């Protein structure tokens, strides 16, 4: 996929991203226990986008989804640790398309020598878009918002790879809770509905379709 900020982000791009994730074994099917203690028929591990070409393509998918979302931002922030490489790959994708965007990330522990502090990269300023792989409990987003505010900037949204669209602590999904509590828009490259649609079009993966549909029926939320 060649990223272009002017292109529309369509179902085709979602389908391509899901296929890309499956081929990289980032998106797997089986039985996986979630943080909530549920047995999920699928698992997404963005840490397995672990080579140059994969990160390049991943950044392009993110950048296309972010552009489509219409969220206005001045820079990117990637919370440690997965958010660091994600934000970098997205900044590179935007630069290749003609838009040079600064980015920053945080350390887990403050550095007491050299430049010191917990923030690395560009100064946090203006409208800051938070980058992550998924939203589980919203902890990473809350911590990111606090750091951004503490540095005099404003969190303007969150971009993730996949929205699981399942209930969190309430009848809302983790993403919906983050949107409500933090008053922030969230955009995703793909979601559970897109995964179901993809599986419907793959006869050789029919054994997973019913499992994912059952899981959505039990834990899913309305769009």
Residues labelled as active-site residues: 111, 113
Q: Where are the alpha helices (DSSP H) in 97-205?
A: 139-150, 174-182, 192-200
Report the run of H or E that residue 109 belongs to, with start and end. strand 103-111
DSSP 17: H
CA-to-CA separations, 137 to 126, 193, 203, in angstroms, rounded: 26, 20, 34
For residue 206, give every residue at least 6 positions away whose Cβ sits within 8 Å of its Cβ, in sequence order, or none: 199
For residue 161, give every residue at least 6 positions away whose Cβ sits within 8 Å of its Cβ, in sequence order, or none: 17, 21, 44, 46, 58, 61, 62, 86, 133, 134, 188, 189, 190
* Rounded CA separation 123/1 (Å): 31
Query: Is the separation of the CB atoms in 44 and 133 below 8 Å?
Result: yes
Backbone angles phi, psi at 22, to 5 degrees: -65, -45
Question: 81 preceded by cis ω (within 30°)?
Answer: yes
In terms of DSSP bridges, do strands 103-111 and 117-121 run parallel, antiparallel, or are they unpaired?
antiparallel
């Amino acid at each position: 996929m060649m990223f272009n900020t002017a292109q529309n982000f369509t179902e085709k791009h979602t389908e391509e991203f899901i296929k890309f994730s499956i081929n990289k074994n980032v998106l797997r099917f089986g039985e996986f226990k979630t943080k909530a203690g549920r047995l999920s028929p699928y698992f997404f591990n963005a840490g397995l986008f672990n080579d140059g070409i994969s990160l390049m393509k991943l950044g392009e998918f993110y950048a296309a989804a972010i552009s489509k979302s219409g969220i206005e931002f001045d820079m990117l922030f990637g919370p440690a640790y997965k958010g660091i490489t994600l934000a970098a790959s997205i900044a590179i994708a935007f630069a290749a398309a003609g838009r040079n965007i600064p980015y920053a990330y945080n350390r887990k522990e403050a550095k007491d020598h050299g430049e010191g502090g917990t923030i690395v990269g560009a100064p946090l300023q203006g409208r800051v878009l938070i980058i992550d792989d998924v939203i589980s409990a919203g902890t990473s987003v809350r911590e990111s918002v606090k750091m951004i505010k503490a540095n005099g900037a404003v969190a303007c949204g969150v971009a993730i790879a996949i929205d699981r669209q399942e209930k969190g602590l309430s009848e809302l999904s983790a993403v919906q809770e983050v949107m409500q509590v933090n008053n922030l828009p969230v955009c995703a490259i793909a979601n559970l509905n897109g995964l179901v649609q993809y599986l419907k079009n793959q006869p050789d993966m029919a054994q997973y379709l019913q499992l994912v549909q059952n899981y959505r029926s039990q834990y899913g939320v309305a769009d």
